[in-house]
Structure 1
Amino acid sequence: MKKRLQHLPAGLIAMAALLVVAVPVALWRDGASGAAGAVAGIGLVTLSYTLSSLIIAWADLKARHLLMPVAMGTYVVKFTIIGVAMWFVSSADWGGLPWMGALVIAAVVVWMGAHATWVWRAKIPYVEL
């Protein structure tokens, strides 16, 4: 399983860096609710990508023939949960919602950039050694 999750630290480090940059800006701009929204947005994306990585790695390990349906299913469920969470929060009239929305988008872009950078630098053999 560890072999299938080698990409995970790159994404988690990128999320930590985004958290260190975004939360103080949100706190300065909109106070505690802005900072809470930033943390919620980054946390939601981090949790969703980490869980989907774990589920996909498990499927690859246990039932490789189900890898594509499991991966597609996790992405459908993940984006549905993020959308439902944003919808529920939008009806609550919470001041951190703009930061949460912006940081969900930013966190997805940063995670994907970290993942692409990891793939670019990884020494992945073309054949099973």
Structure 2
Amino acid sequence: MTKIKGFLKPCLLASAIAAVIAALVGGITAGGTAAWAAPAGVALAALGFAGSAAAVALAETFDLRLTLPMALITYSIKLALVLTVLSIVKAAVPDALLPFAYGVVGGAVAWLATQVAWVYKAKIPYVEFDQRS
């Protein structure tokens, strides 16, 4: 679980910055509805990524071979959740659908770009040495 703490903090910070930008851009371009819908979409994306990272890290504590199935399961759940929330937003507040969807995409791009930058800068050994003396 401690392995995800390295990239989680900068990714959540990038998502917070993206949410503020989304609120400003949404408010300026499409009004009050977009000012809350776009950052809500960013928050949904960040929640999905953080949740799946935590679930995969938890699965790794049991057995390393469980990480791929857990990643696939969380991806499926995430996709279903986003589609469900998008349909709820469309039914409840149709004007918020497009800004919310843009927020989801923007949040995903911000999260993934930050994670890629973190991995590029991280010193991650690709060879694991045996701990025997």
- Length-normalised TM-score, structure 1: 0.91
Distance 1:98 1:4 in 2: 32
Is the Cα contact below 8 Å between 1:23 and 1:38 reproduced in 2?
yes
Distance 2:5 2:88 in 1: 32
Distance 1:4 1:24 in 2: 30
1:91 is displaced (CA, Å) by 1.9
Distance 1:78 1:22 in 2: 21
Is the Cα contact below 8 Å between 1:48 and 1:78 reproduced in 2?
yes
Is the Cα contact below 8 Å between 1:8 and 1:50 reproduced in 2?
yes
Structure 2: 5+ residue runs without aligned partners?
A: none
Equivalent residue, structure 2, for 1:54: 54
Runs of 4+ in 1 over 3 A off after TM superposition: none
Distance 2:87 2:125 in 1: 43
SS of the residue 2:31 aligns to: helix
Larger radius of gyration: 2
1:95 is displaced (CA, Å) by 2.2
Amino acid at match of 2:121: R
Between the two proteins, the alignment pairs up a number of residues equal to 129
Percent identical: 31
Equivalent residue, structure 2, for 1:89: 89
- Aligned Cα root-mean-square deviation (Å): 1.4
Distance 1:92 1:20 in 2: 23
Distance 1:86 1:32 in 2: 18
Structure 1: 5+ residue runs without aligned partners?
A: none
1:77 is displaced (CA, Å) by 0.7
